[in-house]
Amino acid sequence: MSTAKKIILVRHGSLDKQYDGCYIGSTDLPLSNEGIREAEALGRFLKKSAIDCVYASPMLRARQTVESAFSSLPEIPVIYDDLLRETDFGAWEKLTFAQICEKYPDMIGPWNNRNYEFTFPGGGENVGNFYGRIRRIKQLLLDSEKANIAIISHGGIILNLISDILNIGQHKAWALKVDRGSVSTLSLFENGTGILNLLNFKPGGGF
């Protein structure tokens, strides 16, 4: 088997409790105090990982996670890339699933079926375009000369990137779980396949 790159997938820290259970995509929220503590715990854990470079979402919650986690590791280059932004849920932003079902019952089926033609209402992102971003992120990793790469991003990006690399189908992404403030790791081979080594580990504890 060919030499593998180590991919470290970090979901940003927690948000204010009022947003628990809500769909937060393009809404640019800061970390809560708990989220800052989680990011600091991530930093202590990541010190042991010999990271060569970091790719991160430019959204505020991801930036704050980077700043808190890597404040003691300034020599590691950080590249902010729009590819790593969370999906834009449009009019569904800041709604719970129950509220979405109540307000948009006819859209739940096409969304659950991962219809590539589906676009979130109110100017949100097209699902097919989102999956296109996932493929471009994987290609970015494959093209990189670095061997140990960290990605600081969002739940939707991380879950779908894992599913794509493992080739288990995008509909299986939501059978996995990555909490805010968690780390998952993959071995990524030259042919684009991979092995999942760690899923949803929270250095600061908790589930």
Any idea which residues carry the catalytic annotation? 12, 86
Q: Which two tokens stand for residue 78?
A: 């950080």
Cα separation, 156 vs 160, whole angstroms: 6
Bin 25: left if φ > 0, else alpha if -120 < ψ < 50, else beta.
alpha
Max Cα distance, the chain (Å): 50
Sort 181 into a burial class: Cβ within 10 Å, 0-12 / 13-18 / 19+. buried
Q: How many helices (H) and strands (E) does the chain have?
A: 6, 6
